[in-house]
Structure 1
Amino acid sequence: MSGAVDLSGLKDRAPAPPSAPTGPPSDGGAPVNTTGLPPVIDVTEATFQTEVLDRSNQVLVIVDLWATWCGPCKQLSPVLEKLAHEGGGSWVLAKIDVDANPGIAQAFGVQSVPTVVAIAAGRPLADFAGAQPEPQLRQWIAALQEAVAGKLAGPPSGDGEPEPEPEDPRFVAAETALDEGDFAGAEAAYNLILNSEPGNQQAQAALRQVRFLARVQDLPDDVIAVADAQPDSIDAQFAAADAELYSQQPEAAFDRLVALVKRTFGDDRTTVRTRLLELFELFDPAEPIVVAARRKLASALY
């Protein structure tokens, strides 16, 4: 797997499904749920943060990424549901239809279904793909619960003092992807936040930064020289401005595009103006260099 919650480097933190069964199957009893948590939930992009990431601060959440057309999913999902009900809410099974929720699938970097991911404290703990026999699943889940024992808040009890607000796991996932250079995964993770909170300014600002960083990764070394030799090429000027901004020369980047605004007309001028405004949004609007550049842009336009 790869993406905003790339699990490839985390698999050693909890055991993978064992190669041979080591425990007996359940006797099929129906335990009473004393935790107050539903053992099986259907999750969408709009509820992912609350039902998966936030809930994983209380108990282990095992995410079942499935599709209606997937044959192995029809074998695996009922077994997971059975085990979740047996668990009585001590862990939660979150079922996600990847076709109906492509943003989640992209954020997880899902390449095949079924894919199962264990989440604790907002972070991926372990994962596997494909159907697994019930005894192996039992051992895997038991090992995961042992690994997180005492590290989560536990199901809500209705008494005691409130827990301090944890770091937002949605942003943790996005920032982890960004730290790993996974710009597509980071963008997917921030988009997942914005799907449920379109007005989240922190996510909007971070998404702009990610898109800029992704854009500058493959710029050639001679990008500024090329732009200087092609003063009327909008694409060349955009690339050079990106390079200048990335190399901590924002005034040069802004001046380059203001000059281009002066040399263009009609739709071309609108395109250049729009790109310049996008670059302004990467900064605090009160930054003196941005204020000065806005004045220059206004003068160039009028």
Structure 2
Amino acid sequence: MTQPTPPGAGLNLRGAVDLGALAARNSRREEVARRASADPDSAQQASPFVVDVTEESFAEVVQRSVEFPVVLDLWAEGYDTGSEVLAQLAGEFAGRFLLGRIDVQAEPALAQSLLQSLQARSVPLVAAIVKGQPLPLFTGAYPPAEEARPLLEEVLRVAEANGVTGRVAGEAPAETPEPEQPSLPPLHAEAQAAAEAGDYDAAAAAWRKVLASDPRDAAATEGLARVEVLRRLSGVDAGAARAAAADAPDDVTAQIVVADLDLVGGHVEDAFERLLRIVRRAAGEDRDAARAHLLELFTVVGAGDPRVATARTALSRALF
């Protein structure tokens, strides 16, 4: 996978690609129709919260994103393993978003336009749309429900912040008891509790204890990386730090502080690009410091995030 966007690097509408031009190509505002060839008995087709999207219905579906978030799923036969998770979550969220499924093989022109607009190359590709603006979620593989659910919750928070609070019409499913969440190992729980309380030293110490017993613990590795960013920023005056970095563009330490600020503020690409610029033009210890810090931020964001994949490619080009 693809990991959900981690806390501190939340989704926002900044820099989103405008889908208006693409939607304008399909301006016929018809009722969204299910494909005639679809299995009428399938769980996905039976849900009022899941629709098949065609080139003809695309503009209508995008227009609905001013009422409630739309989640587009570009899929292809043979590359849809795990796609049922999205349909299940659409039912679980009971109309708080509409899931629009696009069969890449049946709608090649629409799919290609979307892939180009979202600067993606592979399917499955899943992106949310809020007020016509896309928020790329994940590509290349479907995450399990426990990873997709918090990402969709973040989409809903973004939508609410932008005044999009409607629901898809349809009967809400009967309430079912929420599954009991598995308990965290004691040190994991200790680290998370300390981080939530703002005691980053204690959180870092707990994560290090986890890694001392199991160096392959991915959650501890990512948790420690996040906590270290927050530790470094504790007490930092953001305005003064940005001013210092602007006055000294070749000061690696100053640039690293602002990269951390960008990351925590949700400007992931800005953080990566700031460090990439140093790698491209610096040499020796400065270059090594920028590269090492960039790799640390990759860990914070998550290896499966497409922004990390793009920045890794740029880093390889800068180094070689």
Q: TM-score with structure 1 length normalisation? A: 0.44
Higher-Rg structure is 1
Q: TM-score with structure 2 length normalisation? A: 0.41
